[in-house]
Amino acid sequence: MAEKITKQALIVGAAPCADLAFLGAYLEGKNWTVICADGGLQTALAAGMKPDYLIGDWDSGGGPAGDVPYATLPVEKDFTDLQAAAHWALEQGYKELLLCGCTGGRLDHTASNLVLLEWIARRGGKAVMADGDNEVRFLENGGLMLEDAPHYHYLSIIPLDKTVKGVTLCGVKYPLEGASITRGDTLTVSNEPSGPVMEIAVEEGAVLVIRSQREP
Residue 31 has pLDDT above 60, yes or no: yes
**Residue 28: what pLDDT?**
85
Same domain, 85 and 119: yes
Tens-place pLDDT, residues 95-120: 999 999 999 888 999 999 999 999 99
Residue 190: predicted pLDDT = 97
**Whole-angstrom distance, CA of residue 15 vs CA of residue 51:** 17
CB 190 within 8 A of CB 156: yes
Are 112 and 207 members of one domain?
Answer: no
Bridge partners, 71 (sequence order):
55
Kind of pairing, strands 126-130 and 94-100?
Answer: parallel
**What is the pLDDT of the chain when averaged over all its residues?**
93
Residue 13 has pLDDT above 90, yes or no: yes
Is the predicted pLDDT of residue 3 greater than 60, yes or no? Answer: no
Domain boundary among 132, 152, 176: 132
Residue closest to 174 by CA, chosen among 151, 200, 152: 200
pTM: 0.93
Q: What is the pLDDT of residue 105?
A: 82
Q: Which helix (H) or strand (E) holds 111?
A: helix 107-122
Q: Is the pLDDT of residue 4 over 70?
A: no
Whether 16 and 93 map to the same domain: the answer is yes
- Please check the confidence at residue 2 and state whether its pLDDT lies above 70: no
CATH of residue 202's domain is 3.40.50.10240
Instruction: Assess contact for 215 and 151: CB atoms under 8 A.
Output: yes
Q: Which of 201, 208, 204, 214 is nearest to 145 (CA)?
A: 201
pLDDT for 64 equals: 87
Separation of CA 49 from chain center: 19
Angle of CA points 120, 97, 10, to nearest 5°: 135
Residue 1 falls within a domain, yes or no?
no
- How far apart (Å, rounded) are the C-alpha atoms in residues 192 and 40? 32
Counting every residue written for the chain, the total comes to: 216
